[in-house]
Structure 1
Amino acid sequence: MTPDDDIATALDDALMPRLRVIEDQPLASRAEAYTQVHDELRQLLEGGDVPRTHG
């Protein structure tokens, strides 16, 4: 198992319960909660695009 696999597993373990909680909410609340999850995941994924300096 690689470090990337460990990160993916940790994210999955954290994300799935959160999505189940969101699904139990009224529609308006779900939309807002999914937007928040989307924004957090986008920030996490785009964080990998930070230019790295080579020294």
Structure 2
Amino acid sequence: MPRPIVATVDLAALAANYALAKRLAPGARAFATIKANGYGHGVARVARALAGADGFAV
């Protein structure tokens, strides 16, 4: 019997990676790209984790 596939999103790591990208490009705007429900990964949680983004691309 096949096992279910599980993907875990580390929201703290996601936010830290976004912050690092911003630090590496001072003065640049950075948009977070989110798609539908993030393939079931919880678009609302991801959006909240990246609330400091300059904008969102959906």
Scaled to the shorter chain, the TM-score interval is: 0.3 to 0.5
More strand by share: 2
More helix by share: 1
Q: Could you state the TM-score of these two structures normalised by the residue count of structure 2?
A: 0.34
Larger RCO (CA within 8 A; separation ≥ 6): 2
